[in-house]
């Protein structure tokens, strides 16, 4: 993983959890935070007479990204909450940071979970 993207993800998660009353500690944690990020390439084929922004060949490559954040109980190691986000990627340092912030905020909007 690109170190800039890794830092953006870590910062966004830490900021989002802090806004919900959780803070980072160096020892004695009750929760562990783990994230998984992935990037894939999707190939779209558009009809040549289409008004789509595909190149003249009709083939368009789309980079998609996904991010999953797991909160694990420190004592048992079991997942107590999971959030996921996915979407089309745009590149550039500002674009990546903005996408990461939006994805983390979207998933943390559902945290903490409501009581059953």
pLDDT digits 0-9 by tens, 35-68: 999 999 988 776 666 565 655 667 878 889 999 9
Q: Are 67 and 100 in contact (CB under 8 A)?
A: yes
SS (H, E, C) 4-67: HHHHHHHHHHHHHHHCCCCCCCCCCCCEEEEEEEEEEEEEEECCCCCCCCCCCCCEEEEEEEEE
Q: Give the pLDDT of residue 38.
A: 92
Query: Structural domain of residue 16, as residue ranges?
Result: 3-20+31-108
Q: Give the pLDDT of residue 80.
A: 95
Residue 72 lies in a domain: yes
Residue 43 lies in a domain: yes
Q: How many domains does the chain have?
A: 1
CATH classification of the domain holding 36 = 3.30.160
Residue 113 lies in a domain: no
Per-residue model confidence as pLDDT tens for the chain (116 residues): 688 889 999 999 999 999 999 999 989 999 999 999 999 998 877 666 656 565 566 787 888 999 999 999 999 999 999 999 998 888 777 888 899 999 999 999 988 877 66
Q: Are 38 and 63 in contact (CB under 8 A)?
A: no
25: nearest Cα among 60, 67, 74, 68:
74
Q: Give the pLDDT of residue 106.
A: 92
Residue 52 lies in a domain: yes
Residue 58 lies in a domain: yes
Whether the bond between 20 and the residue before it is cis, its omega within 30 degrees of 0, is no
| Residue listed under structure tokens 């990627």 | 89
Q: What is the mean pLDDT of the chain?
A: 87
Q: Give the pLDDT of residue 24.
A: 92
End-to-end CA distance of the chain: 37
Residues in the chain: 116
């Amino acid at each position: 993983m690109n170190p800039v993207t890794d830092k953006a993800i870590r910062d966004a998660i830490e900021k989002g959890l802090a806004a919900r009353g959780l803070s980072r500690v160096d020892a004695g944690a009750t929760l562990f935070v783990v994230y998984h990020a992935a990037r894939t390439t999707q190939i779209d084929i558009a009809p040549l007479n289409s008004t789509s922004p595909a190149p003249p060949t009709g083939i368009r490559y789309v980079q998609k990204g996904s991010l999953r954040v797991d909160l694990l109980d420190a004592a048992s190691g079991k997942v107590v909450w999971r959030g996921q986000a996915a979407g089309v990627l745009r590149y550039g340092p500002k674009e990546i940071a903005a996408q990461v912030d939006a994805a983390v905020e979207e998933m943390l909007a559902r945290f903490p979970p409501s009581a059953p």
